[in-house]
Amino acid sequence: MPSIESRACGLDWQAFVYMNVFLACSSFSCALPTIEPYLEKLGALPLWAYAVAIYSVGQFLASPIWGYLCSIYRSENTLYASLLIGIVGGLLYATARTGVEILIARLLIGLYTGSQEACHRTIVVRCTTDNERTVAQAGVSTATVLGFLFGPALAGIFFFKPLGPVYFLGVPLRLDTFTGPGWLIVVFCFISSFFVTIGLTQEQTKGLPQCVDPANDAKKTSQGYEALPAAEEARYGALEREDAKAKGVVRDLEKEICTSRMPIRVSGIIICGLVLFVNALGFSAYETITTPLVKNDFGWDLLYADLLFVAAGIVCILVFFIIRLTSASVEDRYLLLCGVLFSTAGYGLMLEFFDNRMNLIRFLIGFAAVNAAMELNRSVTMSLASKILPPASRHHGLLQGLLISCVACARIIGPMYAVWVWNATDRDKFSQGHWVFVGLFLCFFITTIAYAASFDYLRSYRDLYNQWLQSKGQLVSEKMKT
């Protein structure tokens, strides 16, 4: 049976990837509205904050491990192992009798979600060219956001009223608002396993080799690799001549190309991780305080707060289409620069230095800018970091996992920061939300400076490699003239 990578480059493979990521992220959010009353019913309400945070701990731990495993083993095996963890976590959540069981279940669900996203982002890196990757990663990010937004709605639709007990093999199963998310996660895992089995079709993965080795040409061609045009020209352009001296020069160049290793710009990858961390930190922080903020400052009720997050999801979808239109003509590093600047400006607009109060119009504009930048930053960063690594590197899965871990770590710190600042400040002159946004504005301002200082280190490996080959080609021409 061919591996996922050999099947996953057909016309519809991205739809299966997006659907699996959507289901995995829905597994996180579908339980959020009912965790607090569920724990209260079990007499474990003090564990509420831990039950929410431990999910991100599981995601933080699983992402680099599964990303690495996906790089060295068949992706089917890693995905099936991840889905098995999700099934166990969902069953434990639905049948929990104590608060500790809820904690363990949430940890397993975090492991499941983090490993699913890491594996699917690794598949995206393997199955796309540099020009296609940004759009594909944007699709994964959009599926992630939509999963977080629509998870509670899915749980509410199916388990609005108690449906149990339902008997399965003579065993009574309790289906209600509290246990419903657990059963829904189990169903999601089985649907995802079906997609893994039947989805992800035909055609061989295409990629670019790190160097062109004549002894491996036939093998690389059979694996779907295409030689770099610059390397083809450097090797065969001179070989068409019958000059023995030219042949010797080209052989020396071949040896140098295949034994040399372009330095990997680690600083560029670190900057990508920083942008991703700060981006997720800001998102999780303002997500935490938005509902109490609009209730206190604007007198909104819960319905309007929910509609605000629905509008945020629509903004993310619009940004996905913008990325789809612009990614082919604009470099990732310029797109990411726009995202960082939009984030800084958005948090700046939500400050109260202008009139000492939270202005509704400025808040809505800043909220829209931050949400648009959040989608843009996450999508482009995941793509840009993968392009900094050599195409033939076996560490793409590990890198994707580490980047997802940065997001998970930020999602642990962000709510804690927001709640601490909210409770530690008063409303004598500025609102509590103002001081939260001050910290986020400073974080993005510093990140913008660091990003601008490292801008040259964010060029893709392919661009640097082609530039290096051109310089070697000029060296060959000079040697042939002499």
Task: Encode pLDDT of 86-117 as tens digits.
Answer: 999 999 998 888 989 999 999 999 999 999 98
Q: How far apart are CA 376 and CA 322, in angstroms?
A: 9
Tell me if 184 is assigned to some domain.
yes
pLDDT of residue 228: 41
Helix (H) or strand (E) holding 206: none
Which of the four pLDDT bands, split at 50, 70 and 90, describes residue 467?
Answer: confident
Query: In terms of Cα–Cα distance, which of 445, 45, 4 is closest to 202?
Result: 4
Instruction: Specify the higher pLDDT residue, 4 or 39.
Output: 39
pLDDT of residue 143: 87
Q: How far apart are CA 358 and CA 410, in angstroms?
A: 26
What are the strands, taking DSSP E only, across 261-366? none
Cα separations in angstroms, 443 against 186, 209, 384, 419: 39, 38, 21, 17
Place of tokens 């450097």: 234
Give the CB-side neighbour count of residue 23, counting CA atoms within 13 A: 25
Q: Percent of the chain scored above 70 by pLDDT?
A: 75
Task: Encode pLDDT of 331-347 as tens digits.
Answer: 888 999 999 999 999 99
Copy the structure tokens of residue 198.
């039947």
Number of helices (H), then strands (E), in the chain: 18, 2
Q: Are residues 272 and 158 part of one domain?
A: no
Given 174, 198, 222, the domain boundary residue is: 198
Task: Encode pLDDT of 370-406 as tens digits.
Answer: 989 988 998 889 888 888 887 777 788 888 889 989 9
Q: Are residues 419 and 339 part of one domain?
A: yes
Task: Encode pLDDT of 257-279 as tens digits.
Answer: 544 555 567 788 899 999 999 99
pLDDT of residue 150: 78
What is the rounded average pLDDT of the residues 6-17?
62
Out of 39-43, 164-168, 179-183, 232-236, pick the least confident: 232-236
Q: Are residues 400 and 288 part of one domain?
A: yes
Tell me if 86 is assigned to some domain.
yes
CATH number at residue 174: 1.20.1250.20
Q: How far apart are CA 143 and CA 120, in angstroms?
A: 12
Give the CB-side neighbour count of residue 408, counting CA atoms within 13 A: 29
Tell me if 59 is assigned to some domain.
yes
pLDDT of residue 283: 86
Instruction: Specify the higher pLDDT residue, 303 or 294.
Output: 294
The letter for the amino acid at 280 is A
Cis-peptide into 165, omega within 30 deg: yes
Q: How far apart are CA 271 and CA 414, in angstroms?
A: 19
Q: What domain range includes position 329?
A: 266-464
Query: In terms of Cα–Cα distance, which of 126, 135, 137 is closest to 223?
Result: 126
Given 198, 231, 253, the domain boundary residue is: 198
Q: How far apart are CA 62 and CA 82, in angstroms?
A: 9
Q: Are residues 315 and 189 part of one domain?
A: no
Q: How far apart are CA 163 and CA 149, in angstroms?
A: 24
Copy the structure tokens of residue 197.
């089995």
What is the rounded average pLDDT of the residues 202-215?
34
Q: Are residues 187 and 74 part of one domain?
A: yes
What is the rounded average pLDDT of the residues 456-469?
76
Place of tokens 């970091």: 385
Q: How far apart are CA 430 and CA 417, in angstroms?
A: 18
Specify which of 127-131, 321-325, 429-433 reaches the highest per-range mean pLDDT. 321-325
Specify which of 12-16, 107-111, 198-202 reaches the highest per-range mean pLDDT. 107-111
Q: Are residues 182 and 79 part of one domain?
A: yes
Copy the structure tokens of residue 273.
């991780």
Out of 167-181, 326-340, 424-438, pick the least confident: 167-181
Task: Encode pLDDT of 58-85 as tens digits.
Answer: 999 999 999 888 888 777 788 899 999 9
Tell me if 226 is assigned to some domain.
no
Instruction: Specify the higher pLDDT residue, 252 or 123.
Output: 123
Q: How far apart are CA 117 and CA 360, in angstroms?
A: 36
Q: How far apart are CA 117 and CA 62, in angstroms?
A: 10
Query: In terms of Cα–Cα distance, which of 194, 160, 172, 171 is closest to 23?
Result: 194
The letter for the amino acid at 87 is I
Q: Are residues 192 and 82 part of one domain?
A: yes
Tell me if 255 is assigned to some domain.
no
pLDDT of residue 22: 92
Residue 240 CB-density burial (10 A; 0-12 exposed, 13-18 middle, 19+ buried) = exposed
For the chain, the average pLDDT equals 77
For the chain, the domain total comes to 2
Local structure of residue 225 (DSSP, 8 states): B
pLDDT above 60 (res 232) = no
pLDDT of residue 39: 87
Given 144, 167, 198, the domain boundary residue is: 198
What are the strands, taking DSSP E only, across 163-278? 166-168, 171-173
Q: Are residues 440 and 342 part of one domain?
A: yes
249 and 482 Cβ atoms separated by less than 8 Å:
no
Q: Are residues 308 and 452 part of one domain?
A: yes
pLDDT of residue 281: 92
34 and 177 Cβ atoms separated by less than 8 Å:
yes
Q: How far apart are CA 162 and CA 175, in angstroms?
A: 6
Q: Are residues 189 and 271 part of one domain?
A: no
Q: Are residues 297 and 398 part of one domain?
A: yes
454 and 461 Cβ atoms separated by less than 8 Å:
no
pLDDT above 90 (res 256) = no
Q: Are residues 419 and 298 part of one domain?
A: yes
